[in-house]
Amino acid sequence: MATNLPVSAQSQGGVGTAPVPHTEHDDHLHDHEHHDQHWLWKYVFSQDHKMIARQFLITGIFWAVIGGVLSSLFRLQLGWPEATLDWLQPILGKWIEGGKLNPEFYLALVTMHGTIMVFFVLTAGLSGTFSNFLIPLQVGARDMASGFMNMLSYWFFFLSSVVMFSSLFLETGPAAAGWTIYPPLSALPQAISGSGTGMTMWLVSMVFFIVSQLLGGVNYVTTIINMRTRGMSMSKLPLTIWAFFLTAILGILSFPVLFSAALLLVFDRSFGTSFFLSDIYIAGQALHNQGGSPVLFQHLFWFLGHPEVYIVIMPAMGMVSEILATNSRKPIFGYRAMIGSLIGISLLSFVVWAHHMFVTGMNPFLGSVFMFLTLIIAVPSGVKVFNWLATLWRGNIRFTAAMLFSVGFVSLFISGGLTGIILGNATLDIQMHNTYFVVAHFHLVMGSSAFFGLFAGVYHWFPKMFGRMMDEKLGYIHFWLTFIGVYLVFMPMHYVGIAGFPRRYYSWTGFDAFSQFADLNKFISLAAILAFFAQFVFIFNFFYSIFRGRRATENPWNSTTLEWTTPIEPGHGNWPGEIPAVYRWPYDYSKPGAEADFIPQNVPYSQTPSSNLPYERELAE
Amino acid sequence: MKTSEAMLGEKELGLGWHPKRVLLILLIFSIVMMFAAFTSGYIVRRDEGNWREFDLPLSLLFNTIVIVLSSATMQWAYFMAKRDEVKLANIGLLLTMVLGIVFVFGQVHSWGDLVAGHTYFGGSDANPSGSFVYVLMGVHAFHLITGLIFVAVVLKRSLNYQVHSRAMLSIGNATLYWHFLGGLWLYLYLFLLLNH
């Protein structure tokens, strides 16, 4: 039996499909298999998780470009504060006044850049794409638990995108109170013009977004709990699935809290309540609002806001674990420790939110409790980093584009994580708060590294998504330009921040203390804009490869997980025949004694006598 | 003869619940988190001072009794469906809907009583304490309306003889959701009684 393993590992279709009766979830899917579907149902209102994943991905790419354009605009202002920007007038219209960027529009740019990147790209675009695509394929299900709810999840996201995008073109400008929308600035239209219709549309858009996240999240969790194929116990799940599972749970528990906060803010803005407003004078006029507490909003916001950064980073962690193991041709180091650290991060994420609020005048004792809990996160994060490095150690590394981005992810996560230890200390944070040091920290640790996870995922699973390969050489160019670019942008930013340069300031040339950083800021801006343009290499590669890429094989990376046992372009229902059963964990790479350097999860131990360990031999008997 | 490996593949996975039941339970968790946010915000805000005390109108007690009764009729309808007494199950579902609608209107009526007691939602005479009461009642009432729609869908299915002892999923889920909404209101009522 052992001799035919390499063959069966490549053909894979029938391997391990022991004659076991169908499970109950098999039957309802056959009615979905319409062969001549109208294009509207196939490409637009599709209930197929793979099509929904592609919809999320392409919408996410669209948003990433918008978010990148906005950041290039405000980097122009920061890098060349004296320049005349008349040449932008055709695009920005009245936001350029006398060759200068309108200061309020600058705030709107910063706000929308944050909102778009955090929610629309790195939440919806990242976990929306890969949770949808990989969960049914890797757990061995024909589709999500509810295809209809899954479709609604995308269309609520689409609706939310339309509202947010249209707010960019408002006469009074989009929301401008920062992505954290702290009241009273966000609550009072008199405060800044962006708090008028722009803020209303921001809130409406976020309500749709939260609905989308909940519909998606409950589906992901249900699919993982209920629809795993035979033999796929929780301890045989790929780490991607564990990451998506915990990410979805975080979303289910934290997004409703943002909903509550947004609802109260809507009441304050439009219905005359005073949840967050008190003792406010505008132009000498006292407002009627009494008894509100703006700090309450911060508590509610950060109760979502902190888990949200893990919602962003954990899917990337899961995919990087998978890609590092596959391309090192080694089992992931410490599989159970990886799961344990994900669970640890998930639990801790709910009890650290106040570390965003050390300067709100909170009781220093309470601050030290939150500081203690925050610093504990370094432990599971450290476990993950050491396990990734140990996986690479003495591996037979294949530097695919996906692998490069995964290694880049680990690098960025370490660089950004170290400054997290500094900012987690209340005493240091009070000094650093609201400076560019914070900006540099979170852009490295959750912004850039989540983007690297996203790129790694796209390069790695592109063959399964579109049946073609992306171009490797363009992938290398994209990686090196981005990797170098990101470090050139964010490393100098730490120094600017340590010097006390505050975030969100439109112009700083009026302050002697900061004008010495003019050159450094120019350098950062130049690097940022170049790194942004480097992304067009990826966009070209992506769209070109969809139509003209080299044809993929069934399992181009010689990987072990179930998605690679499907046909090159899986139809609705994923496997044409029976769903394969699972016999082993997903990381049997370079197993001593095995014929090939990988054994897919659906190969029974009885077919691999030469590589079985003693306890596995017992299973096969 | 099967190897132990082949037996492994037949092991039952999941919690033994239908996916739709799991979906519902997860959605209930998200609703719980929403109200956890409101009620913990309430406590945090109260402890900061400038908090106007208010009296809960007696009509809320009446509404509470109505919603507890509706939970009982819902459970009764569930038992009747389980015994294939389709007609009685329909009556139970209908009673539940009527009591649910009475509850929603009762809540709106209680808002009138609150205003009469000078507890306002917004405006210059309002205090966050009163605003919170309206928000808690309003968001709960919104979810109760979604529960009513759910029960109506089950009633329609039941009228078509699609709910019986071998098709208990929809009525089971509706019963779970309805009890949850009732329990949620009991929690909110006790919370307001203890913390006003």
Cα angle value A469/A410/A539 (rounded, 5°): 35
Say whether pLDDT at A197 is over 90.
Answer: yes
Put simply, the answer to whether B30 touches A261 (Cβ < 8 Å) is: no
User: Average pLDDT in the A123-134 region?
Assistant: 96
- Domain ranges within chain A, ordered by starting residue: 47-229, 411-552, 554-621
Say whether pLDDT at A437 is over 80.
Answer: yes
Tell whether B58 is within 8 A of chain A (Cβ).
no
* pLDDT tens digits, A325-362: 999 999 999 999 999 999 999 999 999 999 999 999 88
Tell whether A149 is within 8 A of chain B (Cβ).
yes
Question: Which residue in A266, A599, A301, A315 sits closest to A455, CA to CA?
Answer: A315
Q: How far apart are CA B69 and CA A433, in angstroms?
A: 54
Residue that the structure tokens 């979604």 belong to: B146
Question: Which residue in B27, B150, B3 sits closest to A612, CA to CA?
Answer: B3
Q: Which residue of A has its CA nearest to B125?
A: A288
- Which residues of chain B does A264 touch, with a Cβ-Cβ cutoff of 8 Å? 41, 135
Cis status, amide bond into A6, omega within 30 of 0: no
Tokens found for residue A426 = 């209340």
B33, B46, B48, B54: best mutation site toward chain A, by most A Cβ within 10 Å? B33
Put simply, the answer to whether B5 touches A20 (Cβ < 8 Å) is: no
Instruction: With beta carbons less than 8 A apart as the criterion, state whether A198 and A176 touch.
Output: yes
* pLDDT tens digits, A513-540: 777 888 999 999 999 999 999 999 999 9
pLDDT, residue A619, reads 81
Say whether pLDDT at A289 is over 90.
Answer: no
Q: How far apart are CA B147 and CA A581, in angstroms?
A: 39
- Domain ranges within chain B, ordered by starting residue: 4-195
Tell whether A271 is within 8 A of chain B (Cβ).
yes
User: Average pLDDT in the A295-299 region?
Assistant: 94
pLDDT, residue A286, reads 86
Q: Name the percent of chain A lying above pLDDT 90.
A: 78
Q: Name the percent of chain A lying above pLDDT 70.
A: 94
Put simply, the answer to whether B50 touches A291 (Cβ < 8 Å) is: yes
Instruction: State how far Cα B164 lies from the chain centre.
Output: 23
Using CB atoms, which residue from A290, A293, A619 is nearest to B45?
A: A293
Put simply, the answer to whether A20 touches B6 (Cβ < 8 Å) is: yes
Phi, psi of A397 (to 5 degrees): -75, 135
- Which residues of chain A does B3 touch, with a Cβ-Cβ cutoff of 8 Å? 606, 619-621
Q: How far apart are CA A536 and CA A477, in angstroms?
A: 11
This complex has an ipTM of 0.92
Instruction: State how far Cα A262 lies from the chain centre.
Output: 22
Tell whether B33 is within 8 A of chain A (Cβ).
yes
Q: Which residue of B has its CA nearest to A303?
A: B37
Say whether pLDDT at A7 is over 60.
Answer: no
pLDDT, residue B195, reads 86
Lowest mean pLDDT among A211-220, A396-405, B9-18: B9-18
Say whether pLDDT at A224 is over 80.
Answer: yes
Using CB atoms, which residue from A149, A271, A621 is nearest to B4?
A: A621
pLDDT, residue A35, reads 55
Specify the fold of B4-195: Four Helix Bundle (Hemerythrin (Met), subunit A) (1.20.120)
Put simply, the answer to whether B41 touches A221 (Cβ < 8 Å) is: no
Tokens found for residue A381 = 């994060």
> What DSSP character marks residue A376?
H
Q: Which residue of B has its CA nearest to A299?
A: B41
Q: Quick one: B186 exposed, middle or buried, by C-beta within 10 A (0-12, 13-18, 19+)?
A: middle
pLDDT, residue A517, reads 84
Q: How far apart are CA A229 and CA B105, in angstroms?
A: 48
Q: Quick one: A314 exposed, middle or buried, by C-beta within 10 A (0-12, 13-18, 19+)?
A: buried
Residues 109-138 of B with CB under 8 A from A: 121-124, 126-129, 131-132, 135
A386–chain B nearest CA distance, Å: 32
Task: Say what the alpha-carbon torsion angle A259, A225, A557, A50 is, to the nearest 10 degrees.
Answer: -60
Using CB atoms, which residue from B23, B121, B132 is nearest to A222?
A: B23
* pLDDT tens digits, A36-83: 678 887 888 899 999 999 999 999 999 999 999 999 999 999 999 888
Residues paired with residue B167 on neighbouring β-strands, in sequence order:
B164
Q: Which helix (H) or strand (E) holds A177?
A: none
Which parts of chain B sit beneath pLDDT 50?
Answer: 1-2, 9-11
Residues paired with residue A328 on neighbouring β-strands, in sequence order:
none
pLDDT, residue B49, reads 81
- Which residues of chain B does A187 touch, with a Cβ-Cβ cutoff of 8 Å? none
Q: How far apart are CA A130 and CA A123, in angstroms?
A: 11
Instruction: With beta carbons less than 8 A apart as the criterion, state whether A527 and A487 touch.
Output: no
